[in-house]
Structure 1
Amino acid sequence: MGKVNIWVKRSFIAVASLIAVIGALMLAGILFMHGHYHRDEEIENMIVGIRAIYTLAIIMLLLPVVGLYGVCKEKKWMIIVFTVGVILCSLFVFYIGMSLLFLRPTIRKSMDMYYMDMQPFSNASETDLDIMHKTQKELECCGVQQGYQEWGYDIPESCLCIDNSTSVCMDAPKNSSLYKGADDPVMIYEEPCLPVLFRNLDLAFDISAGTSVALTLLWTLASVLSIVILCQLKPKKDAHVVAYSRESKTGHYAVLTEPAELT
């Protein structure tokens, strides 16, 4: 069996260890998120994505362990398992990342239609109003596209600016329900929610696409290194050494038969 180049081996160990660290961080993050939202009603809509991330994180932990053990012990079948695994994972993640980019316009259009259909808020259902209030609190915005004017006189408390808010705030109209007879100025969010939603959506898509490309490149590098190691582990054929000797110039042979006499 051939000998693995020490620098190729060290490079593989570094890349495989990095993949394992990323897998551990991903697993810790999804565990925290699952624990944070496990009582939320929206967890049912997120469970498929959570399970997919769980699976990917566990695979990213197990495959490097298999690959590292295979390289250190020079077990070819374990290196082959690692190579096939990272190639399949890289193709899957790259497909997911590209799919999200193609789905971005469709999701933006669906979100736009969903929030615009809530208007006017005076005729909106309780469920839609609860979603709108939650959106305004979380994103620090007011209204859908035109701002606080969409609420008319009854501007909700979810539009009130909180202390140390990073969003732009403005004075609420004096004739709004927020004053309730008070003379002190009341501050509300100036920006509507739809532009904020789109910015957050674009940021999430960009991060997802960048992460998928980075993981694909990392796994591709790991697969290339493992293939190089497999090639170096191939058994080498022993070449027979031909020795030169002066005696080989003289012919040591005997005539087996005498030539027939010419008649």
Structure 2
Amino acid sequence: MGKVNIHLKRSFLCSVGVIAALNLLMLGSAIFAHANIHYDEKTEETTLWLNVSCVFCTTTLVLAFFGGFGSLKEKKWPLIVFAVGMSAGFLSFVALEVHAQVIKTQMEDHIRSHFLDLLPLTNASQDDLKMLNNAQMQFQCCGVEQGYLDWKNNISQTCLCHNMSINPCVPAPKGSFQFTVEGPEDQPIMIYSKPCIPLIIEETYFYLNISSCIHAGFMILWMLPIGLCIAILCQINKKLETPEVVYSKEARAGKYSCLVETPDDYIA
């Protein structure tokens, strides 16, 4: 059995400790969310994800224990359990990332169809109009697909630009609701020019990309202890090369000659 390099062992223990700390934090967050979420807000999908998170984090903590124990004692079977279990977890991360990319491609169609169902806005329900008005205030947009034209001549007040507006604005068309607001005649009332659908899709993609980057970083961190564990197993399985010792009876007989000259030789 070979001897494990001390630097390799320390690197492995540090990486396992970081993963254990992260999973302990996530486990605590999942338990806290499960205990404090309101009963009326609990859905079957939310409860399922919380339960899966608790099981996953608990399993990872157990695997981290096996990995640390196997590294300290230099035993193969705990390290093999750790490597196999962590590899299965890594494959689950890959499957989730592929699923997230599939959902990402479908998200645009879902958002677009959801808001297009509100048209025409003159026939939309009060709940739908309230949702659209909230989106217009949050994203500084107006209308659904064609901007303020979707509102006809009854443009919502949430389309009005204010002093802190970031997105571009245009003068409100004549005959619209905004021209009933008192104000200087030489300064037209400005409304947001961009429709809401592109802005909502852009922000959704932004957060999805951030989530994918965090997920990719976590996958890289997850791969590190697996590689170090495999390296430790290779060193443990490596046999130390020792010189072959052959016993010979002639060695005990003392059949050897002295290479150093004695003082008598010099006197002669």
| TM-score (norm: length of structure 2) | 0.71
Question: Over residues 113-166 of structure 1, what are the superposed CA-to-partner deviations in whole Å (9 max), with x where a residue is unaligned?
Answer: 221121001112233223322322333322111112211232223334455343
The worse-fitting range, judged by mean Cα deviation, of 7-16 and 50-59 is 50-59
Residue 191 of structure 2: SS of its match in structure 1?
Answer: strand
Check if 1:127 corresponds to 2:127.
yes
Q: List aligned pairs for 1:121-160, cutoff 5 A.
A: 121-160=121-160
Corresponding residue of 2:195: 192
The worse-fitting range, judged by mean Cα deviation, of 65-74 and 90-99 is 65-74
Corresponding residue of 2:88: 88
Question: Over residues 213-247 of structure 1, what are the superposed CA-to-partner deviations in whole Å (9 max), with x where a residue is unaligned?
Answer: 33333322321211222333459589684146471
Check if 1:211 corresponds to 2:214.
yes
Question: Structure 1 residues 198, 47: CA separation in 2 closer, same or farther (over 3 Å shift)?
Answer: farther
Residue 183 of structure 1: SS of its match in structure 2?
Answer: coil
Corresponding residue of 1:259: none
**Partner amino acid, structure 2, of 1:110:** H
Corresponding residue of 1:220: 223
Corresponding residue of 1:11: 11
Residue 166 of structure 1: SS of its match in structure 2?
Answer: coil
**Partner amino acid, structure 1, of 2:157:** E
TM superposition shift of 1:90: 0.9
TM superposition shift of 1:55: 5.1
Q: Check the 8 A contact 2:24/2:61 in 1, yes or no.
A: yes
For residues 62 and 159 of structure 1, the distance between their equivalents in structure 2, rounded to whole angstroms, comes to 55
Question: Structure 1 residues 221, 176: CA separation in 2 closer, same or farther (over 3 Å shift)?
Answer: same
Residue 188 of structure 1: SS of its match in structure 2?
Answer: strand
TM superposition shift of 1:99: 2.0
Structure 1, unpaired ranges of 5+: 251-263
TM superposition shift of 1:91: 0.6
2:232 to 210, 213, 229: 229
| TM-score (norm: length of structure 1) | 0.72
- The percent of aligned pairs where both chains have the same amino acid is 34
Corresponding residue of 2:204: 201
Q: List aligned pairs for 1:1-263, cutoff 5 A.
A: 2-23=2-23, 48-49=48-49, 52=52, 56=56, 63-74=63-74, 76-161=76-161, 164-173=164-173, 175-178=175-178, 180-183=180-183, 186-234=189-237, 241-243=244-246, 245=248, 247=250
TM superposition shift of 1:187: 4.2
Question: Over residues 8-60 of structure 1, what are the superposed CA-to-partner deviations in whole Å (9 max), with x where a residue is unaligned?
Answer: 11221232234345446656877898899869969777555555555555555
| Count of aligned pairs between the two proteins | 250
Corresponding residue of 1:253: none
Q: Check the 8 A contact 1:94/1:212 in 2, yes or no.
A: no
Question: Structure 1 residues 58, 147: CA separation in 2 closer, same or farther (over 3 Å shift)?
Answer: farther
**Partner amino acid, structure 1, of 2:220:** L
**Partner amino acid, structure 2, of 1:209:** S
Question: Structure 1 residues 165, 224: CA separation in 2 closer, same or farther (over 3 Å shift)?
Answer: same
Q: Check the 8 A contact 2:2/2:240 in 1, yes or no.
A: no
Question: Structure 1 residues 246, 80: CA separation in 2 closer, same or farther (over 3 Å shift)?
Answer: closer
Question: Structure 1 residues 26, 174: CA separation in 2 closer, same or farther (over 3 Å shift)?
Answer: farther
For residues 160 and 50 of structure 1, the distance between their equivalents in structure 2, rounded to whole angstroms, comes to 41
